[in-house]
A and B are shown apart, each in its own frame.
Chain A
Amino acid sequence: MLAAAGLALATGLREGHEVFLLGVGTAALFALLGGLALRWSAAVAVGVALLGGQQCLRLALGSDELDDWTPAIAATLLLVAELAWWSLEPRVRTWAEPGSAARRLATVVLSCAGGSFVAALVLIAADTHIGGGVFLELAGVAAAAVALALVAWVARTRVG
């Protein structure tokens, strides 16, 4: 909750449209708080989505320049989501494995660091000037569709 509040507040106070962005951030915090209190995963997902939406709005309403803070924000967003879902998991007394919590925390931190790295790679790729055009736009759409299809395929084959 602290990470989410920090992210929402920092985003809301950073540029113009403070009231609007703060409103979205507050809604995200309430959704997260409700989800954690009621152990309701859908509300947590909505809370994380609203936090992401707040960033989208900030970017849409802001300048056209690339935001250098995006990797850090992506890592924080992932950290919020990971910690929120960890909180939702049923509590098991870890007498047999006292180090499991530390291992889990290390996994979360490494995931966030990896996420930040991936976000930075995406930004670097976006900042590379290789000439625009319809073909590049199509390549971007195709890449997004392939990424989505890949996620869906992996999820279907592993879960189904």
Chain B
Amino acid sequence: MTRSATAKLGAYAALAGAGLLAALVLGRPEVAALAAPFAVLLVAGLSPARPPEVHAKLELDAERQVEGETVTAYLEVHAITAVERLELLLDLPEGIETTAPNPQLLSLHAGERRELEYELRCAHWGAYLLGQVILRAQDRFALLVYEQTLDLSRPLKVYPRGEALHRLLRPFETQAFAGSQPPRTRGDGIEFADLRPFVPGDRVRRVNWRATARRGEPWVNETHPERSTDVVIFLDTFAEARTGATGTLDLAVEAAASLASHYIAEKDRVGLVAFGGVLNWLTVSTGVTQLYRVLDSLLDAEIFLSYAWKDIDILPSRTLPPHALVIALSPLLDERSVGALADLRARGFDLAVVEISPVPFVRPGGGELDDLAHRLWLLRRDALRSSYLQLGVPVVEWRHGMPLQAALEEVRTFRRHARVTRV
């Protein structure tokens, strides 16, 4: 523990010294009597003073939690020596809040153990290290201060709270693996597709007896096989717009977490590409393990300023499998990500862009010129969206407070009409 004197100690020493000196100068013993209590208090306070010895242990009741939920932290304090006044602060990172009193004041006897309980609210998603405990002890007369910082780091992962999605976007093409999506092709499966006349080699169990009786010749059912799809979530981490605690990256991460959990729940394979100053990717896979891999990668997503030009050539080819649906979550603020998305479309990827709108985070300036600049910026964004639409890429604007499902439905509508137009 580091030890330091309080201002009180210096002041009392000065008062005692000045009083004794004044008593000598004035020749009045009363002045010495006035100063004596200060001197005696100093001696009484400093003589038995020795550094307190305190140990602490921190436990969390969960290492993973969802945004908005609570985690309970148990802090056990063990005093080896008696501590008259112990101020104890559990230093919480931004994004974790507590309603418990923090700092707390304790008085501990020698050998006493005390368990303190903190209910921590996970206000914001992220990967945290909890456990910086700052101890500050004072002697009985508050003349000396002992301070110590204990590093009892415990990891806590707070996952973004995704929203419920009723219908997901489906890629145009499915993969060869079994899943729960009916492809356009026909084959062995349980999803009814069509009727056709019986041909030699058809199984008898496929005969549709009702249609056969009506038409006087054998007809069989055709079915869709159940296949999985590959979905790659493309997270733009080049730039973001932010005001206060909310920014476009936060919204993008929440949307990505929702999409990943729902696609994996439907046995699809999901991959992640965080395309920005630092490139991060996960090849497509399925299962709960992959879900946690994706979520952990999302927790690490951050804006890293970089001026280096990057395009999708730097991505390993396995991260973008053929026939995968690429869902891009981007504020469309950086030329590199805008170019990379256009490049993906040019290479034939099935692409949908959910634009995390930066407009609510940008306030136009007060002047006429600022207003004009803001309008020009909005027009440029409209032009950018139009260029994507001309490439056949659905672009939907998604804002804070708007259901993600609405954005997905808009993409679905665009894709349905786009297919009709192509026919």
Residues of chain A touching chain B, judged by Cβ–Cβ distance below 8 Å, are 41-42, 44-45, 48-49, 52, 55-56, 59-60, 66-67, 70-71, 73-75, 77-78, 81, 85-86, 88-89, 92-97, 99-100, 103-104, 107, 111-112, 114-116, 118-123, 125-126, 140-141, 144, 147-148, 150-152, 154-155, 158-159
Contacts and interface: CB of A to CB of B under 8 A. Distances in A.
A30 B400 CA distance: 54
A32 to B, nearest CB: 12
Given A56-B26, A96-B116, A115 B47 contact: no
Secondary structure call for the A interface: helix
Given A74-B33, A85-B142, A45 B42 contact: no
Residue with the greatest number of chain B CB neighbours at <10 A, chosen from A55, A116, A122: A122
Contact of B34 (A41, A42, A45, A70): A70
B20 A148 contact: yes
Nearest to B89: A92
Contacts of A151: 13, 16-17, 39, 42-43
Residue with the greatest number of chain A CB neighbours at <10 A, chosen from B14, B40, B101: B40
Contacts of B32: 122, 126, 144
Contact of A81 (B12, B44, B46, B85): B12
Contacts of A116: 37
- What are the 3 A-B residue pairs with the smallest beta carbon separation, nearest first? A115-B37, A126-B29, A41-B7
B26 A59 contact: yes
A80 B6 CA distance: 17
Contacts of A119: 33-34, 36-37
A155 B36 contact: no
A44 to B, nearest CB: 7
B46 A45 contact: no
Given A95-B101, A118-B33, 19 more contacts: A49-B14, A49-B18, A52-B34, A55-B34, A59-B31, A60-B26, A66-B30, A71-B33, A81-B12, A88-B7, A100-B107, A104-B85, A107-B140, A116-B37, A122-B32, A123-B29, A126-B29, A151-B17, A159-B4
A55 B21 CA distance: 14
7 contacts: A52-B35, A66-B29, A100-B85, A119-B33, A140-B24, A151-B39, A159-B144
A122 B140 CA distance: 25
Contact of B30 (A67, A107, A115, A147): A67
Contacts of A74: 33-34, 36-37
Interface residues of B, number: 57
B104 interface: yes
B36 A141 contact: no
A71 B15 CA distance: 16
B279 interface: no
A100 to B, nearest CB: 5
B88 to A, nearest CB: 8
A158 B105 contact: no
B39 A141 contact: no
B411 interface: no
A111 B42 CA distance: 11
A103 to B, nearest CB: 7
A107 B85 CA distance: 13
A55 B29 CA distance: 12
B15 A45 contact: yes
Residue with the greatest number of chain A CB neighbours at <10 A, chosen from B6, B18, B19, B141: B19
Contacts of B101: 93, 95-96
A94 B42 contact: no
B28 interface: yes
Interface string B190-225: 000000000000000000000000000000000000
A100 B42 CA distance: 22
Contacts of B14: 45, 49
